[in-house]
Amino acid sequence: DGCIKAVGPADVIRKQFSEATFERIIDCSGKCVLPGLVDAHTHPVWAGDRVHEFAMKLAGASYMEIHQAGGGIHFTVEHTGKATEDELFATFQQRLGRMLRAGSTLVECKSGYGLNLETELKMLRVIQRARESMDIGISSTYCGAHAVPKGKTATEATADIINNHLPKLKELKLSGEIHVNNIDVFCEKGVFDLESTRRILQAGKDIGLQINFHGDELHPMKSAELGAELGARAISHLEEVSDEGIVAMARAECAAVLLPTTAYMLRLKQPPARKMLEEGVIVALGSDFNPNAYCFSMPMVMHLACVNMKMSMNEALAAATINAAYALGKSDTHGSLEVGKQGDLLIINSSRWEHLIYQFGGHEALINYVIVKGKVVYENERCETMSSY
C-alpha cells in the first residue's frame, strides 16, 4: 500500500520479515536513508521567465519598483494568461521532475499568475493533472489574491474573489473536478491590506480550505497576528514579523514557512528564525520557486537556512521534512520515517546525512535514490561510480 511497515535495527527487521519476499532489495551499506523532503511553498505554474529582471535587481531596483514598472508578478500574469493549458503543463512537469531529483517528494503548488477566474482555474487544472499523473506528492493552493489585477482596486479584487472565484472553486471541488487544499493571499502594503486579507482568508476557510498565506514580507503588516487569530495552518515569509506576532503564532501552533532564497535574492533582511525557534514556533522551509526566485533545490534551501538564518542542521532537516509536512496539514502521513506513514524516502551516497546540507549544490551526485510510496522514482547512476567525498 506504499506505506512503511517497519523501522528499526536490521537484525530485528530481518527476523520479522524472514518469510517475506521482495521485488527489490537496495544495499544501503555506507549510505544514509532520510525522509523525502517537503517543499512548503512554490509557484511552479507559469509562462514568461523574468531573467531580465535579475539584472535590474542586481543594479539596485527593489521588488516593488520592478512591480510598479509593469514587471514582477504582472509580467508573468500576462504571459501565463496567453499560454495554453498544455504548454503550462509541459513546463510544470519538467520543473516538478527537477524538484523530485533534488529530493522533494511532496511540494506545495500555488496558482496566482492568473488573477482572473479563467486563468486561475487553468492553473489549478494543470496542478490537478500533475497530481493525477505524476509520482511526486502535491498540495494545491488557490492564490488568486497574489496581486491586484490591472484596472481593479484591491477592494474590487477582494469582492471578485469572494463573490465569484471561491463559489466556483467550491462547485468544482464538490464535483471532484479540481481538488484544492489551501487558500493564500499576498498581504502586503500596496497589494492586499489586513482587512481584505482577513475577508478572503475567512471566505476560503468557510469552503473548507486551509489558510496558508504570504505575510509580513516587505512591511510589518500584523499578518502573523491575523493568521493566529483566524486559525491559519501556516504563514510564509515573515521577514518583518513583530515579536507579538511570533508569540501569537507559537500559541496558535501556526507554522512559519521561511524562504531563505527570497531574502537572499532580494537582499532583504532574513526572517528571525532563531527567535521563532526559541519562542516555540513550528518552523518550516520552502524554496519559493517562482520567476523571481528560481531555485528547485531543498538541500540548497537548507544550506542557506543554516548559514543565513543561523539554524542548526538538525533544525533545517526537521523544517524541510516533518515541519513542512505539518505546514501543509500532512504530518500524519508524510515527513518522517515511521511505521504507517507513506514510504517517501531518499538514499544518499554518504554515511553522514549532513552531507545533504554541507554540500552546497552537490545533490546531483549525492542523492542516489528517490522513493515515493515505496517505489523507486529516480535512480542516480552517477552515485555508483563516485564517492560522495
Beta strands in 202-326 (DSSP E): 210-215, 234-237, 255-258, 283-285
In a domain, residue 387? The reply is: no
| CATH at residue 272 | 3.20.20.140
378 pairs with which residues across the strands?
Answer: 370
Same domain, 253 and 174: yes
Residue 110 and residue 182 share a domain: yes
- Asked if residue 386 is part of any domain, the answer here is no
183 plus 207 within the same structural domain = yes
The ranges of the chain with pLDDT < 70 are 385-389
Range of the domain at 108: 35-328
Same domain, 97 and 15: no
What are the CA-CA distances from residue 365 to residues 102, 206, 384 (Å)?
10, 46, 9
Q: Are 202 and 305 contained in the same domain?
A: yes
Number of domains in the chain: 2
Looking at the structure, do residues 366 and 320 belong to the same domain, yes or no? no
Do 7 and 76 share a domain, yes or no?
no
Give domain status of residue 389, yes or no: no
d(CA 111, CA 161): 13
Q: What is the DSSP string of 322-365?
A: HHHHHHTT-TTTSSS--TTSB--EEEESSSSTTHHHHSTT-GGG
Residue 385 lies in a domain: no
- What per-residue confidence (pLDDT) applies to 71? 83
> What pLDDT sits at residue 309?
98
Antiparallel, parallel or unpaired: β 345-348 and 367-372? antiparallel
249 in the same domain as 138:
yes
How far from the centroid of its chain's Cα atoms is residue 130's Cα? 15
pLDDT score at 273:
98
How many CB atoms within 10 Å of residue 106? 26
Distance CA 282, CA 227 (A): 14
254 closest CA partner among 280, 287, 289, 222: 280
Residues 43 and 16 in one domain: no
The pLDDT value recorded for residue 70 is: 78
Tell me, what's the pLDDT at 266?
87
Distances from the Cα of 250 to the Cα of 86, 220, 230, 311, 331, angstroms: 42, 18, 14, 17, 17
Judge if 55 and 113 occupy the same domain: yes
- What pLDDT shows up at residue 387? 62
Please tell me the predicted confidence (pLDDT) of residue 383.
Answer: 85
Is 311 a domain residue?
A: yes
Q: Are residues 43 and 102 in the same domain?
A: yes
Whether residues 284 and 177 share a domain: the answer is: yes
